[in-house]
A and B are shown apart, each in its own frame.
Chain A
Amino acid sequence: MKPSRTILLVEDNRDDVELTIRALKEAKITNAVVVAKNGVEALDYVFGTGTHAGRDPADQPVVVLLDIKLPLLNGIDVLKRMRADERTRRTPVVMLTSSKEQGDVAQTYELGANSYVRKPVDFESFVTAARQLGLYWTVLNEPPVG
């Protein structure tokens, strides 16, 4: 089965969702973006449970953009659950932070986040994060030069 190469955006702020999707679009990123409005919904998506029952957990998103501050289950909790499960252990996770609060960043790296991007997500910082993860060509859908 061909992977769907979706980007999972976990974000409760409608403005931020809109601005992030806009930034990805502006960057000519055409992957499907799935939005989860809270931590529970995000876990449902990656594990194929609850509102996303029936989804194949083997088809992991190409990257999860995970906001830290979320209702119900926050980003840190979601990250912990994902890293504790064999199916989602290697799924790339980029944390979305709204401040330079170092505590957040240090903790997410410790828990296994691959990178972090400060909101609002603009093209440059997203590209930097994608490059760090080695996802640049996968996400941007552009063939390598040469």
Chain B
Amino acid sequence: MRILRGLTIRQKLISIGMLSSLTALVAASVAFLAFDAYTFRQRLARRILTEAQITGLNSITPLLFNDAEAATATLGGLRAEPAVVAAFVLPPEGSEPFATYARDRGSAVAPMVPPDAPKEGHLYRSDELLVSEPIRFEGKVIGSLLVRADLGELRDRQRRYAGMVAVILAGSLLLAVVISRFVQKTISRPILHLAETARAVSAHKDYSVRAVAEGKDEIGQLVNTFNEMLDQIAQQNAALEEGRRELEGRVEARTLDLAAANKELEAFSYSVSHDLRAPLRAIDGFSKALLSDYGPQLDERARHYLDRVRAGTQRMSGLIDDLLGLARVSRRELVRQEVDVSEIARRVAAELARHHPERAVRVEIRDGLSADADSHLLTIVFENLMGNAWKFTGKRDDATIEVGHEVDGRGRAFYVRDNGAGFDMAYADKLFGAFQRLHADEDFEGTGIGLATVQRIVSRHGGHIWAEGAVDKGATFYFTLEQSS
């Protein structure tokens, strides 16, 4: 059956037709030949037995008169039966034949009496028939007649029949091929048509094509089911397309909404940065003018109040700056590229040192740190984290800031570590909220927006941020810049 697998349906159908005819014909021929051989043998045995009986009766007189010549002459009558090869008249005792007949008298070898001949009746051996007939006179066995016949006639007959069968087989097969070729079309044509249609649908993604059903048989049902499937696919496609269009429309609407909201936010930020600052400038500027122009006329307390007014406006100005920074960080497009993190940290450290020349801070930055990140936003992260570290180590003589990275199974985390004021881990979750502060202004200045900004930047990179620390034992801020797998 494996051979059939590689064939086309057309070839398979023809092969099946031919194979079936061939099998039936061969089986019928073999049965016919076997039956013919069987009946021929039966007939031959009966014929030889009749001959033997007649010859046996004719041999009674020569046996009684012990006349071998007459016996031989009687045996000669068997010549009429060409199947008889040899015949013997045997006395009741002894193995020497009383008279012998041989069909081929010219043969050098005298015919032998087969030692295993039956006493009475017939026996088929591989290539000959032995028939033995007792010769009786007045109820007494006076000898026996043994006839050997060959099966040459059967062989000739079978050879002829085999030739006939071969001719009939060849003719039948030819006929079977011709008929199969016609008949297979009724099966293969709809299947081939279906296959062709399926191929066209698959190649052109055209689900409007339909196969034509030719009959009501299984193939016809298959074609109908196939067409129904195509209907369903076309319907589903239409539904999908409709869904996609609807989604697209919704995305477009959302995008427009978002763009409008962004624009509004932008306008708001712009307004905050320009308009909210204008009155602040006036308060600060005129307080300053008051101090410089009328300072000598004011007493200590009045000057202190004016100082407090100016400090308040400076602080509010800082808050506005930081809030705008936070908004900007959220709006800005993220441009990822390979950045030298060590270099960014070094630049931030140099800037901090430039602004605070009075401080002696040991900064240790691990070399060769790099990341796939937005360089500008990452700079803001380090400005805030290292700026905090700088600020919160302000009360230590041995201030140290360390920048490095740690790699574990989940990925790589950068860290900024200091040995400054630290924080209570109980409030660790409050670190990153806007305006959340864990220190009083008198101890450390700040707006409470820096870490919120850092967290926004980190989460925009798909990373996360966390901190470890203890009061007066320093703090370590860790952050990742890509989604942990």
Contacts and interface: CB of A to CB of B under 8 A. Distances in A.
Nearest to A26: B292
Given A98-B273, A100-B321, A101-B324, A19 B278 contact: no
Nearest to A22: B289
Interface residues of B, number: 17
Interface string B281-302: 1101110010000000000000
Interface string A83-116: 0000000000000001111100000000000000
Contacts of B286: 15, 19
A52 interface: no
Contact of A120 (B274, B284, B321, B328): B284
B277 interface: yes
B289 A15 contact: no
B270 interface: yes
A62 to B, nearest CB: 24
Given A15-B286, A19-B286, A22-B289, A99 B324 contact: yes
Interface string B263-285: 00000011001100111011011
Given A99-B324, A100-B321, A69 B274 contact: yes
Contacts of B279: 15
A62 B109 CA distance: 154
Contacts of A98: 273-274, 277-278, 281
A102 B281 CA distance: 20
Contacts of A22: 285, 289
A16 B281 contact: yes
Majority secondary structure, A binding face: loop
Given A99-B324, A101-B324, A19 B273 contact: no
A30 interface: no
Contact of B278 (A15, A68, A102): A15
A46 B273 CA distance: 29
A15 B277 contact: no
Contact of B273 (A13, A16, A99, A120): A99
A119 interface: yes
B285 A19 contact: yes
Interface string B114-158: 000000000000000000000000000000000000000000000
Contacts of B274: 68-69, 98-99
Counting chain B CB atoms within 10 Å of each CB, the highest count among A13, A22, A99, A102 belongs to A99
Contacts of B281: 15-16, 19, 98, 119-120
Given A15-B278, A98-B273, A120 B324 contact: no
B153 to A, nearest CB: 120
A70 to B, nearest CB: 11
Contacts of B289: 19, 22
B149 to A, nearest CB: 125
B325 to A, nearest CB: 8
A69 B278 CA distance: 11
Given A98-B274, A99-B277, A15 B321 contact: no
A115 to B, nearest CB: 19
Interface string A1-27: 000000000000101100100100000
A69 B274 CA distance: 8
Contact of B285 (A99, A100, A120): A120
A16 B286 CA distance: 10
B173 to A, nearest CB: 91
Given A98-B278, A99-B324, A101-B324, A15 B273 contact: no
B285 A101 contact: no
Nearest to A69: B274
B310 to A, nearest CB: 12
A101 B331 CA distance: 12
Contacts of A15: 278-279, 281-282, 285-286
Contacts of A101: 269-270, 273, 324, 328
Contacts of B320: 99
Nearest to A23: B285
B277 A13 contact: no
Counting chain A CB atoms within 10 Å of each CB, the highest count among B274, B279, B284, B321 belongs to B274
A129 B277 CA distance: 22
B277 A16 contact: no
A120 B277 CA distance: 10
5 contacts: A13-B278, A16-B282, A100-B324, A101-B273, A101-B324
Interface of A: 13, 15-16, 19, 22, 68-69, 98-102, 119-120
Closest 7 CB pairs of A and B: A99-B273, A15-B282, A19-B285, A120-B281, A98-B274, A120-B285, A98-B277
